[in-house]
Chain A
Amino acid sequence: MANNTTHTIEYRTLSKILLVLLFLTFVTIGVTSFHLGPFTVTVALLIAGLKSFLVLSNFMHLKYESLLLRILVAMVFVLFVVIVLITFIDYAYR
């Protein structure tokens, strides 16, 4: 099975991803100085989603896993997005 194989990611690659994550953290803070109105949460969630993707695929080695496992993890994120969207049907129209 796919997870019986050991994968090593070079420190240089991991360091680059760490720098990207730190940069995105500053972007998350920086973006709050812009008044985006109802899109504030959307932008914050998009940045957080991108950071999660980087962590999952590299630090947690998801990119080396089987297609089935990657689909299952992707479905979790899809479910999360759908739940948030449905909740906002209430908040947006109340």
Chain B
Amino acid sequence: MSNSTEKIEYVSYLDYQGKYKGFLSWIMATDHKRIGLLYMYSIMTFFFIGAFFGLLMKIEMLSPGETIMKPQTYNGVFTLHGILMIFMVVIPGLSAVFGNFFLPILIGAKDVAFPKLNRFSWWIFIVGSIMAVASQLLKDGPPDTGWTFYAPYSSQTGTNVIMATAAAFVLGFSSILTGLNFIVTIHQMRAPGMRFFNMPLFPWALYATAWIQLLATPIIGITLLMLIAERMFQIGFFDPALGGDPLLFQHLFWIYSHPAVYVMMLPAMGVITEIIPTFCQRQIYGYKAVAISSLAIAGVGFLVWGHHMYTSGMSDQARWFFSLLTFIVAVPSAIKVFNWITTMYNGSIDVKPPFLYALAFIFLFIIGGTTGLLLGSVATNVQVHDTSFVVAHFHYIIFGGMGFAFFAAIHYWLPKMYGRMYNFKIANIALVINFIGFNLLYFPQFIIGVEGMPRRYFDYPAQFQPMQVISSIGGFILVAGLILMVFNLVKGAKSGPVAPSNPWNGSTLEWTLPATPSLENFDEEPVIKENPYDYK
């Protein structure tokens, strides 16, 4: 440019005054960073509501029989817990919050490809979330199907299934639009010199995730519309009484919902892959293997849905085929774990809260992953299917994996998001409490699951009570740790010491920016000459 010597005055994106002021300046924002924060505030709100319902369930399970609620209320509570946590917290979680905030920065762009579409995605997310909450409050009562909406029960129950499925349908659009935006952004807006194979690995994970969001989400959308059509017009898709096939629902539901697990997990793996090289001051071990393993997980992850259906009446041939594919999908996940650990070897490790959260993630993810292989094997799956073993496995992956990666990400990037730092000591104490609480909450469920404790049951034989009590105590400890962690982060973001622009000595592009980036991130378009983890 002719006037390239003229410096643009720096204004933090948090202080930037555009066309709108106050609250409107947030909900009308097209800045990817503000939209990322909007998602974070919404998602954290839903997370604590979901956690509250989870805690109610744990109180109910303190003793056999009725403790604080009726059986039908329990059905509604676990359904609400599942819908909130799955569709409004963990699916959008990392990609909508940290993907929005950091994807453009990490690839050297000013914003995402379609900023207004990005804002529209958040609006749709809020509309869908309101519908989901409304489904709990309308006169027919909260849906009692669980978050899986299995037919034919979901086409027959008198509860608010239509509103809940319509909410999931609307939320799906938000996911599709975000995925589309990220794919175009990565293809078209990378800084000069940034090829696919010197792009940071969090954008790689987001790229693989975005393809799943784009391709798989329409399938659940159509499936839920078919369910609504069956309920409203008695068109026989799934209900055998109407000539339908209930297994068709399960196929269609899991063709989306298993890849959806990777929508949750791939960005989590991406976050961990950013954190470990930074705190070890080492080049990531096997960059290309980690990058391609994200695509491999997304690709193979599309083909393993049948392992949720081993006991549903599916053919034997399909069962062994899905079992084989399930074992194959474990390989790229294991490659990532191997590469994270190998990156640490001989590194100059700086033990700070984000790194400790990343370690907790790896530990919990390994437990979740290996128990996933037990469930992927038909022989063991039929023994523990629909028991609390599955609940434990699922939470080790989703909460221990995605949840702890979310906490790692917020501890890692908070200084860049708010320009301030939190208290390390409190962060470490909160981590220890969270870790202990988490394992006390979920590990006993592996044990009673193997012993035969069914999932989603309101009542249980007295022999399971000791483990149920330990699990409930773990729930209280975990919630205490979460409150302490959030208190520390909020206090740090509001009034913590001013953070330096690169507190962790990171090498990726976000750390070249001021402590809080400006509206368009870069004064000058960066030119990329090195690989992203070039630690000398």
Contact = CB atoms under 8 A, between A and B. Distances in A.
Contacts of A87: 251, 255
Interface in A77-91: 79, 82-83, 86-87, 89-91
Contacts of B5: none
A-B complex: 9 closest residue pairs judged by Cβ atoms: A93-B315, A90-B318, A93-B317, A94-B315, A89-B318, A90-B314, A90-B315, A87-B251, A89-B317
Interface string B319-356: 00110000000000000000000000000000000000
Given A76-B215, A89-B321, A90-B247, A83 B303 contact: yes
A79 B251 contact: no
B318 A82 contact: no
A90 B306 contact: yes
Given A82-B303, A83-B303, A90 B215 contact: no
A79 B302 contact: yes
Interface string B275-316: 000000000000000000000000100110010000001111
B313 to A, nearest CB: 8
Instruction: Please report whether the interface of chain B is mostly helix, strand, loop or mixed according to DSSP.
Output: helix
A83 B317 contact: no
A39 B300 CA distance: 27
Interface in B214-269: 215, 247, 251, 255
Contacts of A83: 255, 302-303
A79 B255 CA distance: 12
A94 B314 contact: yes
Given A79-B215, A83-B255, A93 B318 contact: yes
Interface in B105-127: none
Contacts of B315: 89-94
Interface residues of B, number: 17
A74 to B, nearest CB: 13
Interface residues of A, number: 13
Interface of A: 1, 76, 79, 82-83, 86-87, 89-94
A90 B322 CA distance: 10
Contacts of A79: 215, 299, 302
A82 B247 CA distance: 19
A93 B302 contact: no
22 contacts: A1-B188, A79-B302, A82-B302, A83-B255, A83-B302, A83-B303, A86-B306, A86-B321, A87-B251, A87-B255, A89-B315, A89-B321, A90-B314, A90-B317, A90-B318, A91-B315, A92-B315, A93-B315, A93-B317, A93-B318, A94-B313, A94-B315
Contacts of B302: 79, 82-83
Interface of B: 188, 215, 247, 251, 255, 299, 302-303, 306, 313-318, 321-322
Given A79-B299, A93-B315, 17 more contacts: A1-B188, A76-B215, A79-B215, A82-B303, A83-B255, A83-B302, A86-B303, A86-B318, A86-B322, A87-B251, A89-B315, A89-B321, A90-B247, A90-B251, A90-B318, A93-B318, A94-B318
Nearest to B317: A93
Contacts of A86: 303, 306, 318, 321-322
A94 B251 CA distance: 14
Nearest to B214: A76
A87 B252 CA distance: 9
A79 to B, nearest CB: 6
Contacts of A92: 315
Contacts of A90: 247, 251, 306, 314-315, 317-318
A34 B335 CA distance: 51
Contacts of B318: 86, 89-90, 93-94
Contacts of B299: 79
A89 B315 CA distance: 8
Contacts of A76: 215
Contacts of B255: 83, 87
Nearest to B250: A90
A93 B247 CA distance: 14
A75 to B, nearest CB: 9
A10 to B, nearest CB: 29
A69 to B, nearest CB: 8
B249 to A, nearest CB: 12
A5 B313 CA distance: 54
B298 to A, nearest CB: 10
A89 B321 CA distance: 9
A50 B262 CA distance: 32
B316 A93 contact: yes
Contacts of A1: 188
B95 to A, nearest CB: 19
A18 B117 CA distance: 32
Contacts of B321: 86, 89
Nearest to B303: A86
Nearest to B320: A89
B242 to A, nearest CB: 19
A64 B302 CA distance: 29
Contacts of B314: 90, 94
A93 B313 CA distance: 11
A90 B314 CA distance: 6
Contacts of B322: 86
A68 B130 CA distance: 40
A38 to B, nearest CB: 15
Nearest to B299: A79
